[in-house]
Amino acid sequence: MSKYYIFCNGRILLKNGGSELPDTESDKELELLFKASGNVDREDPDGDIWAEIDPASELPDKYVLLERRSIWPTFEEKEFFRAGRAFHLMDWQRANRYCGVCGSKTSYDPAEGAMRCPCCGEIYYPVISPAIIVAVEKDGKLLMGHGANFPPGRFSVLAGFVEPGESLEECVRREVYEETKIRVKNIKYFGSQPWPFPRSLMLGFNAEWESGEIEVDGLEVTQASWFAPDEIPDVFRGLSISWKLIENFIKNRS
Ligand SMILES: [Zn+2]
C-alpha cells in the first residue's frame, strides 16, 4: 500500500478528520480528480504518489484540505518532511511545464529527475533556494528580531536567502548586518533542514557578536534585542530549525 500526497492551492488532502494520508488501496477514487501526478521517489514507480487537484473539484465528505504547516502536531517529523518533498516536486513540475528558453512544452525525464525540453534540450531540475538562519550571541544573550510580518510579540533568530555569488558565511555576515547593523565573527555550522514553504533549504549557524549596536532596518525587521535564556519571548516552536537553535542556546547558557 502506498500513500497519496495530494495538494490543492498549497493545502494537503487528508482523511479521517485530518489524521491520516489517503492511500492507494482505499482511496483510489481520488485519482479521477488528479490534474497532475508523479512518483515521490523516482526509483520506486509503485511507491508513494504526489498529485495536484483542481480547486473546483468536489471532494467526497470523508476528505479535508488542511494548511501544510498545520499538520506538524499530527504527523511525525519524518512524515512532515516527506509531505514537504512531495509538495516541492508537485510545485516544481507545475512551474516548469513550459521551457523558459523556447516556450515549448516540457516533459518529465525520470532517468534525470528533471523536466526536459524536447525542442532545445534545456533541462530544469527542482529549484532549491538556500537560506541561512543564525543564532548570534553576546555575553550569554541571544540576538532575536521581530519580523514585519510576524504576529505581535513574536521573535526569531535572524534569517535570509543566499544571494548569487555569495558564500554561506558571507550571507550570515550580510544578513545580520543588514537587519541589525551588528558585525559577527566565529561563524560555525549548526545543521540544516529542508523548508518546503515553498522551496528552501535552511542552513543553521551559530556566531558571536564582534562589534556594533543594534539598529534595525525597520522594513524586514522592526525590532531586535539581546535575550538571556530566561528572557526568551514568544517564538516559533515545533520542528523548525529556528527553535532548535534557540533550544540549543538555552541548553548551553542556562
Ligand atoms: Zn526549449
Digit-coded pLDDT (tens) for 173-220: 999 999 999 999 999 999 999 988 888 999 999 999 999 999 998 888
Quote the radius of gyration of the chain (alpha carbons, Å): 21
Do 58 and 32 contact (CB within 8 A), yes or no? no
The answer to whether residues 177 and 205 belong to one domain is yes
The answer to whether residues 119 and 138 belong to one domain is no
The answer to whether residues 249 and 140 belong to one domain is yes
The enclosing domain of 173 has a CATH number of 3.90.79.10
The answer to whether residues 163 and 247 belong to one domain is yes
The answer to whether residues 66 and 157 belong to one domain is no
Ligand 1 being an ion, which residues bring their Cβ within 5 A of it? 99, 101-102, 104, 117, 119-120, 122
The answer to whether residues 211 and 169 belong to one domain is yes
Domain count, the chain: 3
Q: Return the ∠ at Cα 135 (arms to 133 and 136), rounded to 5°.
A: 125
The answer to whether residues 149 and 86 belong to one domain is no
In angstroms, what is the span from residue 109 Cα to ligand 1's centroid? 14
* Domain extent at residue 246: 129-253
In angstroms, what is the span from residue 41 Cα to ligand 1's centroid? 26
In angstroms, what is the span from residue 107 Cα to ligand 1's centroid? 11
The answer to whether residues 85 and 104 belong to one domain is no
Residue 202 bridge partners (DSSP): 131, 193
Q: Which three cell numbers stand for residue 51?
A: 498529485
In angstroms, what is the span from residue 104 Cα to ligand 1's centroid? 5
The answer to whether residues 198 and 230 belong to one domain is yes
The answer to whether residues 39 and 151 belong to one domain is no
Do 205 and 134 contact (CB within 8 A), yes or no? yes
Q: Residue 253: helix, strand or coil by DSSP?
A: helix
- Read off the pTM: 0.86
Query: Tens of pLDDT along 225-249?
Result: 999 999 999 998 877 899 999 999 9
In angstroms, what is the span from residue 88 Cα to ligand 1's centroid? 22
Buried residues in 171-209 as b, exposed as e (16+ CB within 10 A): bbbebbeebbebebeebeebeebebbeebbebbbbbbeb
Q: Which three cell numbers stand for residue 128?
A: 532549491
Query: Tens of pLDDT along 146-171?
Result: 999 999 999 999 999 999 999 999 99
In angstroms, what is the span from residue 63 Cα to ligand 1's centroid? 39
Which DSSP symbol is given to 18?
Answer: G
The answer to whether residues 68 and 25 belong to one domain is yes
The answer to whether residues 84 and 172 belong to one domain is no
Helical (H) or strand (E) element with 95: helix 77-95
Do 135 and 141 contact (CB within 8 A), yes or no? no
Question: What's residue 103's pLDDT?
Answer: 98
In angstroms, what is the span from residue 99 Cα to ligand 1's centroid? 5
In angstroms, what is the span from residue 89 Cα to ligand 1's centroid? 20
In angstroms, what is the span from residue 92 Cα to ligand 1's centroid? 17
